[in-house]
Structures are given as structure tokens and as C-alpha cells.
Structure 1
Amino acid sequence: MEGIEEKLVVSTADVLDYHSILEAVKDCCALFCCLDSQDGYEDKMVDLEVRGAINVVEACAQTESMEKIVFNSSLTAAIWRENICSQKDVDERSWSDQEFCRKKKLWYALAKTLSEQAAWALAMDRTLNMVSINAGLVLGPAVAKKNPLVTMSYLQGAAQMYENGVLAIVDVNFVADVNVRAFEDRSSCGRYFCFDQMVNTEQEAVKLAESLSPLISLPPRYECQGSEVYAERLRNKKLNKLVEGTAC
């Protein structure tokens, strides 16, 4: 933010208060929407996040200057279902199964699935230009330390993600760059799986756990055997096209 302080206007808005959002986005041409509960995720958070998503999209639909919404969702909105291990490719066409998420109490994944689906339904009904960024576990300087409950909510069921080849991470700076590209590229459309590394070997899993210390702790004197390698199922060809400048 260096050098732009004089151009920066900070507005406070409550995502559950439609009118406060409407006032905050007045005269804006773009909205980068990131809905996360810093208090973590339980079942009650699911409906609140869905309501927030609906309020944000509706406010943008009523803002004449709005050109595009970049809606930040999550890979967890696509990777959870009973038979995920039987799929060779998991891409932007995939959605997490709501009942499976409820059964396994994957509240973060359920919140991201339902809020993104609600956002898409309303955006299409209002003919609003929207793209979604479905990011993996976001890492970077102090990200996990500043957002411990969100990080741990994403990692609920991490062992199953890892074994099924759908555990992926992404650097926060890369996510930010993808958001900007998604807005600036007029041909961008639909969903984009956003990750820059798969975690599918024991060595990578240990490295991830170490980077998340003290949120995650390895057993004392743990020795990596380096023998486990799980098949990668996630595909991000569409993201690669966006980065290369041919979005869709």
C-alpha cells in the first residue's frame, strides 16, 4: 500500500447488512470478495456465510458502475464427496457433496460450497459478470499465524485430502496476482482452481506440517520414510491459461 495512502478509502461494512455493503461499493468498478470467519467454522457459520454472499452479490448487481466480481471461494467447495478417490480428474466442474459434508461435519467446506453456489445462482440471475477463485490452503508470511482458525478449518479432513490426492497449497502473493488477472482479463469466466503445489508425498506433507508449527506438531523424533506417493487428482489447466493470458 506504499505511496497510495492518499487514494485509499477504508469503509466498514457488515456482510449481514445489505445496505452497508451497498454504501461501501458505491461507484466501484470491481469487487474482490473474501468471506472468511476469523472465529473458525461450526454449523451455524454456514448459513451466515451464505447470507453474506447473497448480500454482496445483490449489492454489486444494484451498483451501475460495477464491472466484475472476483469471488474468492475454496478448493474445499469441489473436493469432498464419497467417491472422490475414484475420479481421475477433479477440476472446475466438480462440486463438494452437501450431504457428505454435513455427515462428516466439514463445516468450512459446506460453507464454501453453499456460499459459492448461491453467489453463482444470483449472479447469473442478475446477469452480473463474475468469476470465482477456488484456492487451495493459502500460505505465506504469517498467513497461518494471523488466521489460525481459518487455516485449521480448511485442514479438517487433511489426512483424507492427502490420501486422495486433493491436498493443495498456494502462496498468498500468487492468489493476489490471480485475482488481479481475473479482473483485468476480459475473457476470464467461470471458476478457477488456484494452487501452485500439490501435497502428495510424505516429504511434502512433513514440510507442510513444519511450516504450520505450532498449529500442527509432528511426533518427537519423527523420521520421514519418503515412501508414500499419492496420485494427483486436481487439475488447474484453466488457471494456467489465465496466467498465460488466454483465460477461457
Structure 2
Amino acid sequence: MNGEGKVVCVTGASGYIASWIVKLLLLRGYTVRATVRNPMDTKKTNHLLTLEGASERLKLFKSDLLEEGSFDQAIEGCDGVFHTASPVSLTVTDPQTEMIDPAVNGTLNVLRTCAKVSSVKRVIVTSSTAATLSINPNDVVDETVFTDLSVYLAMKAWYGYSKTLAEETAWRFAKENGIDLVVMNPGNVIGPVLQPTLNYSVEVIVDLINGKNPSNSFYYRFMDVRDVSLAHIKAFEVPSASGRYILADPDVTMKDIQKLLHELFPDLCRVDKDNENEVGEMAYKVCVDKLKSLGIEFTPIKESLKDTVVSLKERCLLI
């Protein structure tokens, strides 16, 4: 139990990745302070409160990304902070208010608190492979690649823009304030869901089952939520961990996912197998040597997909 006696904070704890981080932290013996928008909303928090170890070592805190100082109480006395809270949406009416402010100012809000709490030894921020995008198909993408913000501005791709800008802001603030920051850049995350609602990355699988092709699907790389969550925790636990980590299986593309869905769940898939060539595919390579140095092994994608769909069925989320 690596986490025995240690106290950590997880922001946006009711989210998909964050819920798994909380689950694994509790299993490793950590005491967890979980921030949510409304601790009294049992529909969004009950899955956390019923986790193994939650009754003894989990406490919920009310926090708002845009409210200065609202993370102070949750972070005070913590050894580490996992900042996962950030809006995820591809349909945006007001990009500044809906995406950019919560992502950028929310990250700064959390980091400002971390800077003044002396017990915090390391901060793990969840970014995205959206911040490591290359538009050159011949490139090998690794942790040195930062997406050119002008690309997202031109595309009006506000999620990618907000994640990239938030990460750049985090690095700048951490450097200026002496924070030990590690950033995780996950691709499209799949695997069993703990929360009661459908999240964007798993909705991609639902779309594929329903015969819809997700937008910009040729950029997608996938990784199991259990591996992503463990990678976050290892980034906190391994003293030598530093910088950024791309969390994506380099060998799995959208076409592979579509093909496997047909193999595993032929009765569910509503699209004819001949249509699978409609899904675009990007040729760029992803280097994950750095991630492997944390001791992370990839869950086979077939297993991830199977577990994803089974859990969606259990929660009646296949729509």
C-alpha cells in the first residue's frame, strides 16, 4: 500500500478518468480529498462514495474552477494534487466562457493554491494529446511536441485550444513558482465507466456502434482508463518522473477499434462492415518510450473495448 499515511487531492473527481484515479488511490491506501461542484448531488457522487475504502479515507469538497481560493480547503495539508477538472465538449456556443476560462483560469486557480501550500510535493495535471498534435503525417509525436495554437484557432477547435493553452499556462506558472509539475497527455480514453453518465471519450465508442463516424477521427489514439489512471499515480509516486507523458497506445487506430467492435459485438453494430473504410486514418507515429519508463503496460485493446461495452450495457448507456 504505497499511499498509506499520504493525503492527496483530486479535482473534478466525479469525471471519468478522475473517478478511476480516486478508486486506485483508495486501493493503494491513500486518503483522498475529492473536489466536485456539488457534494450533495448524489447522482454524480454516489459512485465515489461506494468505492472500496471510501467510507474511511474519502472526503468530498465543494470547489469551482472559476472561484479563486475555492480549492484551498481541499488542498491544505495534501502531499500531492491531481488536477483533472476541465470542460470537455465539441459543441460550444461561447468558447471563452464555456471552455477557455474554466480550463486556463481553473488550472491557475488550483496551482496558486498549490504554490502556497508547503506540504504539496508534486502536482499532476491532466492535459490531452490534443496539446501534442502534429499536422504533418510523417512526424513522430513525442513529449517535445506542442500543438500550434493557430491551428486550433483556424479550425475553431475550442477543446484542443483550451487544453493546449491551459497546459502552456501551467508550465509557465510552475516554473515561475517552483512547483514540481508533471503533465499527463492522454489520447481518447476508453474502458469501463464508474460514473453514471456517458462521457465524451467513451461516447466515441457508442457513436461507432451506432454507425456514426466521430469528427477528426483520424487524429485519435486510444488508451484504457485503468492504465491512464495508474500512470497518473505512478507520475506522483516515482521520484524521477518529470515533464510530460503521452498516454496513448501507438499501435491502435480508429480503424482497429471499428474492426474489433464488429468482431466482438456483431449484433450491436448498426453499420455494415463494408463501411468501415469511411473512417479516416492519420499516418503519424506516437512515441511512448517515456510512458513505459513509469512501468506502465498497455491493457490489450480488445479487452478494453469489451469491458467498455459491457459496462455501458450495465449502466444502460448504449443509446
Q: Runs of 5+ in structure 2 lacking a partner?
A: 1-50, 205-213, 297-319
Q: 1:98 aligns with which of 131, 135, 149?
A: 149
Aligned partners of 1:27, 1:41: CA distance in 2, in Å? 38
Query: What is the match of residue 292 of structure 2?
Result: 240
Q: Check if 1:57 corresponds to 2:111.
A: yes
Query: What is the match of residue 179 of structure 1?
Result: 232
Please state whether the residue corresponding to 2:127 is helix, strand or coil. strand
- Per-residue CA deviations over 1:132-163 (Å, capped at 9, x if unaligned) read 0100111111379834346569x64113x1xx
Q: Check if 1:8 corresponds to 2:62.
A: no
Contact 1:34 1:72 (8 Å CA) reproduced: yes
Q: Check if 1:36 corresponds to 2:86.
A: yes
Please state whether the residue corresponding to 2:59 is helix, strand or coil. coil
Query: What is the match of residue 86 of structure 1?
Result: 138
Please state whether the residue corresponding to 1:53 is helix, strand or coil. helix
Contact 1:11 1:24 (8 Å CA) reproduced: yes
Query: What is the match of residue 48 of structure 1?
Result: 102
Q: TM-score when scaled to structure 1?
A: 0.80
Q: 2:174 aligns with which of 93, 100, 123?
A: 123
Aligned partners of 1:69, 1:179: CA distance in 2, in Å? 10
Residues 110 and 207 from structure 1, CA distance in 2 versus in 1: closer, same or farther, beyond 3 angstroms? farther
Query: What is the match of residue 164 of structure 2?
Result: 113
Query: What is the match of residue 157 of structure 1?
Result: 216
- Per-residue CA deviations over 1:8-29 (Å, capped at 9, x if unaligned) read 2111111111211112211111
Contact 2:134 2:145 (8 Å CA) reproduced: no
Residues 52 and 230 from structure 1, CA distance in 2 versus in 1: closer, same or farther, beyond 3 angstroms? closer
Residues 204 and 9 from structure 1, CA distance in 2 versus in 1: closer, same or farther, beyond 3 angstroms? closer
Q: TM-score when scaled to structure 2?
A: 0.63
Identity percentage of aligned residues: 26
Superposed, which structure 2 residues align to 1:204-219 within 5 Å?
204-207=257-260, 219=271
